[in-house]
Structure 1
Amino acid sequence: MAYVGIDRVGKSYGSPRGPVLALEDISLDIRAAEFVSILGPSGCGKSTLLKCIAGLEPVSGGTIAVNGKPLTGPPEGMGMVFQRDVLLDWRTILDNVLITAEFAGTPRARMKPRAVQLLTRFGLGGYEDRHPWELSGGMRQRAAICRALLCDPDLLLMDEPFGALDAMTRDDLNLELARIWNDTRKTVIFVTHSIAEAIFLSDRVVMMDRNPGRIVEVIDIALPRPRPLAIRETPEFGRYVAHIRHLFARLGILKDDTP
């Protein structure tokens, strides 16, 4: 049985000119402990689909089930990382991470050692008493990931969390996320615009097109783990990149750069 089961899901929004169809006939089964990336252009409904899986947006048709239970709201055991870090500037970094425990009704004192451990793992040891406005964008996003991981979720949803970061910071966080996944085998659904990032991190890459948002292909990534960044320079990696770029070019999403 799929851990996340998406069956013929559609999503539409109302507008003065009539309904706008954001997602159409989305069906996908995601196994427990699988890392799946959703890849596609802006406006294809990647983030909308993720919000539906998170129980933050109701579907207009079809069903979504997590761990065999149809969604009626956010599923149990879920953590989420958004495009922006959404940290609270008036709280310290440690208090921002511990807010997850507060929402869960778990005593702060019980979760504080884990929060400190996560911050240290993500290179924020010694910054526990700083405020978000004292940190760089990359450091803030690391804190947001720690917040999502605090209660050890079984399902981790990530909505293009590294899109606003510089290339070196993005590479560093890709490596740390891969290590976290290798250590914990959480079920991860990761939204991205980056072809290389999707291939590097994932077991499968779900390619989407727009108008309306729909799945056009699901690609199994048969690269060995753990994966160093140097794997991106191998012929095997290059073949995945070329395949995805070619399909997006046929769809008119990317220009065909064939001479």
Structure 2
Amino acid sequence: MNVHTASMTGTAMAYVSISGVRKTYGSPRGPVAALEGIDLQVREGEFVSILGPSGCGKSTLLKCIAGLEPTTAGQIVIDGRPLKGPPHDMGMVFQRDVLLDWRTILDNVLITAEFIGRKGPEVRARASALLARFGLGGFEDRHPWELSGGMRQRAAICRALLCDPKLLLMDEPFGALDAMTRDDLNLELARIWQDTRKTVVFITHGISEAVFLSDRVVMMDRNPGRIVEIIDIDLPRPRHLALRETPEFGRYVAHIRHLFASLGILKDDDPETGSGDHS
């Protein structure tokens, strides 16, 4: 198991470079530090999960990377350019699907192309192909209120992928789904990444999910939000759900649980197996 306590050295390889980022919000009682001293380099084509408890600032960090929140201090550089707003070559999936109920599923997916003025049969064909890949073939003319939560989130992922972004940001996209649907979407996301090698920054509070999907797992603590450890996940790809039953996978999960337990974030009832919850 390879563990780093600092960010990747050298920024030449980095597609996303985060240096000394701090984020502070004002309040009647004074400033509140949401993020402090964030240093992280994400290589091009890498799948990085940011893992931590509620309130650790992981979603705030993602919004800063997306150019949706200004930083109080520090710098974010994407593809060699200092961030000054949402990157043009970015797709984003939120915790909620944010579909428009008055548009069909196909038209919801096409929104991202409309924003940049792309139209025509080729774009519609790509949208239909993505929907089919995510098990939504035949649902193009349905409306969001006719679909289950899992199906809606699949459509949201298709929308984010439509314009083939180099950078994909995902903010706990599967957190509200049942376990079986979540497993299914984890597998499909892993296949998509394997095929396209997009740069992915994935926010989650699920330890097993982070280990299963990622090349590296960035662990955060709160008050203020900060990185406490970065773990290389040296597991073979392509990955299948059976991987979660292997000793190697279990060691990564146990290590993460032990660290969170040492920080007082969760209980660790068995020091040998790391059997606390929060998986």
Q: What TM-score, normalized to structure 2? A: 0.92
1:236 aligned partner: 248
* 1:147 maps to amino acid: R
Give the alignment partner of residue 69 of structure 1, picking from 81, 86, 92.
81
Is 1:180 the equivalent of 2:192?
yes
Q: Is contact 1:101–1:108 with CA below 8 Å preserved after alignment?
A: no
Instruction: Deviation per CA, 1:63-86: give whole Å up to 9, x if none.
Output: 000001000000121000000000
Q: How does 1:159-170 map to 2 (within 5 A)?
A: 159-170=171-182
Q: Which runs of 5+ in 1 are unaligned?
A: none
CA contact (8 A) 1:98 1:108 kept: no
CA distance in 1, matches of 2:239, 2:248: 12
The residue number in structure 1 matching 2:3 is none
Q: 1:258 offset after TM fit, Å?
A: 2.5
Are positions 1:124 and 2:136 aligned together?
A: yes
Q: 1:250 aligns with which of 258, 262, 276?
A: 262
Q: Distance in 2 between matches of 1:258 and 1:34?
A: 33
Residue 257 of structure 1 deviates from its aligned partner by 0.8
Tell me the distance in 2 between the aligned counterparts of 1:200 and 1:258.
Answer: 22
Deviations 1:134-193 (A, max 9, x none): 000000000000000000000000000000000000000000000000000000000000
**Mapping for residues 88-167 of structure 1, pairs under 5 Å:** 88-167=100-179
State the alpha-carbon separation in 1 of the partners of residues 131 and 75 from structure 2.
Answer: 37
Question: Structure 2 CA distance, aligned partners of 1:175 and 1:258?
Answer: 29
1:43 aligns with 2:44: no
Letter in 2 for 1:256: D
Letter in 2 for 1:70: P
**Is residue 226 of structure 2 the alignment partner of residue 219 of structure 1?**
no
Deviations 1:107-131 (A, max 9, x none): 1433100000000000000000000
Q: Return the alpha-carbon distance in structure 2 between the equivalents of residues 70 and 98 of structure 1.
A: 29
How many corresponding residue pairs? Answer: 259
Aligned partner (choices 152, 171, 193) of residue 205 of structure 2:
193
Where structure 2 has 5 or more consecutive residues not aligned to the other structure, the ranges are 1-11, 272-279
TM-score, length basis structure 1: 0.99
Runs of 4+ in structure 1 over 3 Å off: none
What secondary structure does 1:74 align onto?
A: coil
Question: Quick one: which amino acid aligns to residue 14 of structure 1?
Answer: G
The whole-number CA distance in structure 2 between the counterparts of 1:61 and 1:195 is 30
CA RMSD of superposed structures (Å): 0.7
Partner AA of 1:33 in structure 2: G
Q: Report % sequence identity.
A: 81
